[in-house]
Structure 1
Amino acid sequence: MHKKETNLSHSKLANNMMNYINKNIDTDINIDAIAVEYGLSKFHFHRIFKEQIGKNIYETIKSIRLQKASNLLITNKYSTITEIASMCGYSSQTSFIRAFKNRFEQTPTLWRNGGYKEYSNNILHNSISSDVSHTSFSHLEAKIIKTKRKKLYYIRHQGYNKELSKVWQKMMAWVYTNNIENYEQIAIYHDNPIITLQEDCHYIACVKVDDKTKLTNTNLPYFEIEEHLCAAFEVEGIYGDILKFIQWVYHYWLPSSGFETTTFPSFSVFEKNHFLNDDGIFKVIYYVPVRYV
């Protein structure tokens, strides 16, 4: 197999595994069984994943579990700590508390009772892009809708930074190569950048094309997201505002909304993409998954 084909194969495997982890974070993920399904040895499977993602699989799963749990503890006031631990794949509350304390240096109870505020403020203090934003979002109102299933071609990027302009340029090169006229630009935020350092955040730049579109170049990986109940917000601003907006949604709007969120990530559908426009202004509809309680 040629080097390019090998790299594409390895990239597809690692991306499929990341999608699987995020989709099944509430379960006991059996890595050995998955490696067998791919026809690979455990060693080879782990090596490919780390080579492509930059972390080993177990570290990745643990990080995703705790990041999602840290959000749910803030937003889901009707759920017990045991229920949140279960939603994030922990079989016991004891193991969850121990892992959470090692990661955030405080117990889930202290975090839920306001400890997250100081932690979040420290993240913001060290974030240049967030620090320049002084926009207020308290005037925004949500519309509760049910989104449709979407098939998305994507490029995964670690870090919320100006490098995303290059990622979106590459995505658009793929769009132009395939002569796609009707499409949507979508950003998926797997991490809350107010809790996770921006350089560690996983961002996915996606394009949704019409199912009838014939593609001449299909090197990009794809996945499908199912329909979800979401709160939708129409938002516009400049670089850095989106991070402050996400903080407002998770730290202020959700806890008082009467809804709870899920482990599914939030996402934005662009009307205007600030990573592709010289004026740096974005206009999006932001969707945060919610559930009725």
Structure 2
Amino acid sequence: MKKETKQYRQKIVNNTYYYIYKNIAQDISLEELAKLSSLSKYHFHRIFKEESKNTIFFELRSIRLQKAANLLITNNYSSILEIANECGYSSHSSFIKAFKKMFFYSPKEWRKEKYKEYSASLLKKFQNNKNFDALEVKIKVTPSILCTYLRHKGYNNNISKTWEKLNAIVYENNITKQRQIAIYHDNPTIIPLKDCSYVACIEISPNENTLLSTFIIEEGLCAVFSFKGVYGDILNFIRYVYHFWLPNSGYEAKTNPAYSIFKKNHFTSEEKEFDLEFYLPVKVIY
């Protein structure tokens, strides 16, 4: 496969994911997604499946349900139906059926206590006794950030290879290297790590001349945590944020993904340590 063809196909997939995440509350059709890339439905779906290893229907359903599973934990002031609608389900019964098929519990059971059992089984080997209660949290409006990026499937040590590749791409394209940013599309404390979507990003200037995939982290209200640690600590930290801090904070999560801005990146530093600011998009309850 020619380099230009590979880049073209990857851009189709990247643009598709970006559109889905940005419009998760809307009814999204195959025809609509194909039109984004000026392709027929058949050719779009074939390219997407070959590149992502899943059908567009599987990916769309998984993204909707993973978002809903997290909001059921964090958004105590929203009804199950409101959360279903926010994640693109107009039918309450369809949402309940799909959710139970993926998570083995009804949304009501999940929301009460079952998510804790599910999470504990996923994080068994990462659990430690760290206490995060003393972490300072700031609520502030954060500016938009333009990034170039690479997607990585799974939360694992292989993310370091994705960062190596992204840094190499930035160097070869003479892009002024700025801040390193990680985007967490999924809550890894309730989604198997191998299924989580991670995005390695490098901030770029608006005037950079690049044909690389880019997107904008939108301006918005965020809860901001400063945190240091090593690989594995981030999972327990995210668990604290979503399962303990947020439900008792007076704020609710949005469908926009959380992200970290690194001062030190454990996937690129020799010490395998991180120093970061974690940004969680929120909305105030009043």
**TM bucket, shorter chain:** over 0.9
Do the aligned residues in 2 keep the contact of 1:157 with 1:202 (CA within 8 Å)?
yes
State how far apart, in whole Å, the 2-side matches of 1:282 and 1:37 are.
Answer: 37
137, 142, 147: which one aligns with 1:152 = 147
* Count of matched residue positions in the alignment of Structure 1 and Structure 2: 285
Q: What amino acid is aligned across from residue 185 of structure 2 in structure 1? A: H
SS in 1 for 2:179: strand
Matches of 2:144 and 2:5 in 1, distance apart? Answer: 31
What corresponds to 2:266 in structure 1? 274
Q: Deviations over 1:151-186 (max 9, x none)?
A: 110000001111111111111112333444551100
Matching residue of 1:92: 91
Please report the TM-score for the alignment, with normalisation by the length of structure 1.
0.94
Aligned partner (choices 219, 225, 238) of residue 233 of structure 1:
225
Kindly report the root-mean-square deviation, in angstroms, between the aligned alpha carbons of the 2 structures: 1.4
1:243-267: CA deviations, max 9, x gaps? 1111110000000001001111000
State how far apart, in whole Å, the 1-side matches of 2:130 and 2:188 are. Answer: 17
In the alignment, residue 284 of structure 1 is paired with which amino acid? L
The letter of the residue matching 1:163 is: N
Inter-partner Cα distance in structure 2 for 1:226 and 1:15: 17
Structure 1 match to 2:7 = 8
1:172 lines up with 2:167 in the alignment:
yes
**Is the contact between residue 155 and residue 220 of structure 1 (CA under 8 Å) also seen in structure 2?**
no
Tell me the CA shift for residue 37 of structure 1: 4.5
Does the CA contact (< 8 Å) of 2:176 and 2:205 recur in 1?
no
How many Å separate the matches in 1 of 2:176 and 2:275? 20
SS of residue paired to 1:274: coil
Contact 2:170–2:177 (Cα < 8 Å) also in 1: no
Distance in 1 separating the partners of 2:35 and 2:165: 33
C-alpha distance in 2, partners of 1:75/1:242?
18
TM-score by length of 2: 0.96
Q: Does the 8 Å CA contact 2:153/2:196 hold for their aligned counterparts?
A: yes
Q: Name the SS of the counterpart of 1:183 in structure 2.
A: coil
Alignment match of 1:260 (pick from 252, 265, 273):
252
- Give the Å deviation of 1:50: 1.1
Tell me the percent identity. Answer: 50
Mapping for residues 135-214 of structure 1, pairs under 5 Å? 135-212=130-207, 214=208
C-alpha distance after superposition, 1:255-292 (max 9, x if no partner): 00010011110000000001111111100000001001
Change beyond 3 A, Cα 1:27–1:231: same
Which SS does the other structure have where 1:230 is aligned?
Answer: strand
Which letter maps to 2:270? D
Aligned-partner Cα distance in 2 for 1:17–1:286: 26
Deviations 1:42-66 (A, max 9, x none): 1211111111112110100100111
Q: 1:273 to 1:91 in 2, by over 3 A?
A: same
Q: Do the aligned partners of residues 33 and 182 (structure 1) sit closer, same or farther apart at CA in structure 2, a change above 3 Å counting?
A: closer
Post-superposition CA distance 1:190-227 (Å, at most 9, x none)? 01111111111100000112224x44xx3531111221
Structure 1 residue runs without a partner (length 5+): none
Work out whether residues 64 and 88 of structure 2, in 8 Å CA contact, stay in contact via their aligned partners in 1. yes
